[in-house]
Amino acid sequence: MRIRFTKMQGAGNDFVVLDELHGPLNLSAAQYRWLADRHFGVGADQILSVRPAPSADVDFEYVIHNADGGEVEHCGNGARCFVRHVRGRGLTDKRRIRVKVQRGVIELTEAEDGRVTVDMGAPVFELAALPFDPTGLTPVPAPRADGPWRMWPLRLTPNEALAPADQAQAATINIALVSMGNPHAVALVDDVERAPVLSQGPLIERHPAFARRVNAGFMQVVDRAHIRLRVYERGAGETLACGTGACAAVVAGIRLGLLDGRVDVATHGGRLTIEWAGGATDSVLLTGPAETVFEGSIDLPDDLRDPA
């Protein structure tokens, strides 16, 4: 089967965007994995499938798959790319677009300068929402934080698959937990460039306390309006930026008393701006760039199989 695609990126988090407005492609997990593969396919952190509105109160639906083929609830950088895609292709002339994703309905606005703001919905703190099983753990105060919120001391079990040098990184790490519709664990670090993202990220992602795995963020607080962030994404590994990860990190920083309500997030792929007023029903606003890289078409191999 030959399919057309658009390759996009938002702060370096990259996407293959598929147009399913005229009919479903019905791709399997193996086919999503192949499209995301940087050696044999197109290459992407996530695949976005744009679909017609399922109800009159929204303009479109889009579905998100991680590079490992799993479907996910939400994607902040993907949401901005989605807007640029539907507007760039003339699929809508609205600047404010309502779209259904697995997490619910989100609203997106494109500014004159091309940056897109996404109303990501309110963060959720119930452990069951991630889900996270706290059995046997006692929450601890965050270092240098004056807020009442607590972090969870997660014991990382060395993974025999890791090199001995990386296993030494495995220890107890304090994490804040936030669901942005998808699950995030956020650790505070002194220097994000020296943070053990590649060694501890996979251990956090697959820790047994997270039944559906988790995205692992490593946040360096620079001052009350600036952080540096790296995220080891569930189902994709470390990406150049993670939109929901930026939202979760800033929300965690605000609740811990370390950050104010508007924060610039420096990632390896660019700058994102996050705003949150701090109330239980207040939406998190995510602003950042979104660009088309190229368009193309590709033959999906016939012999791709999902594991039995």
Ligand X SMILES: N[C@@H](CCC[C@H](N)C(=O)O)C(=O)O
C-alpha–C-alpha distance, residues 166 and 59, integer Å: 47
Query: Which stretch, 33-41, 130-138, 217-225, 231-239, contacts ligand X (CB under 6 A)?
Result: 231-239
Calculate the alpha carbon distances from 293 to 12, 13, 268 in Å. Answer: 11, 12, 18
243 is in an annotated binding site: yes
The catalytic position among 11, 35, 231, 242 is 242
Which two tokens mark 31? Answer: 């086919």
201 and 216 Cβ atoms separated by less than 8 Å: yes
Query: Which stretch, 121-129, 147-155, 228-236, 292-300, contacts ligand X (CB under 6 A)?
Result: 228-236
Nearest distance from residue 226's CB to ligand X, in Å? 19
Calculate the alpha carbon distances from 96 to 58, 80, 91, 93 in Å. Answer: 11, 12, 13, 9
The catalytic position among 75, 86, 178, 187 is 75
C-alpha–C-alpha distance, residues 120 and 305, integer Å: 34
Q: Should residue 72 be labelled a site residue for ligand X when binding is judged by CB under 6 A? A: yes
Q: Should residue 250 be labelled a site residue for ligand X when binding is judged by CB under 6 A? A: no
Active-site residue flag, 242: yes
174 is in an annotated binding site: no
Q: Should residue 289 be labelled a site residue for ligand X when binding is judged by CB under 6 A? A: no
Residues linked to residue 10 through DSSP beta bridges, in sequence order: 13
Active-site residue flag, 81: no
159 is in an annotated binding site: no
Label the pairing between strands 60-66 and 46-52: antiparallel
27 vs 249, which CB is nearer to ligand X? 249
244 is in an annotated binding site: yes
**Catalytic positions, written as ranges:** 75, 242
Residues that bind ligand X (CB under 6 A): 13, 45-46, 66, 72, 75-78, 182, 215, 233-236, 239, 242-244
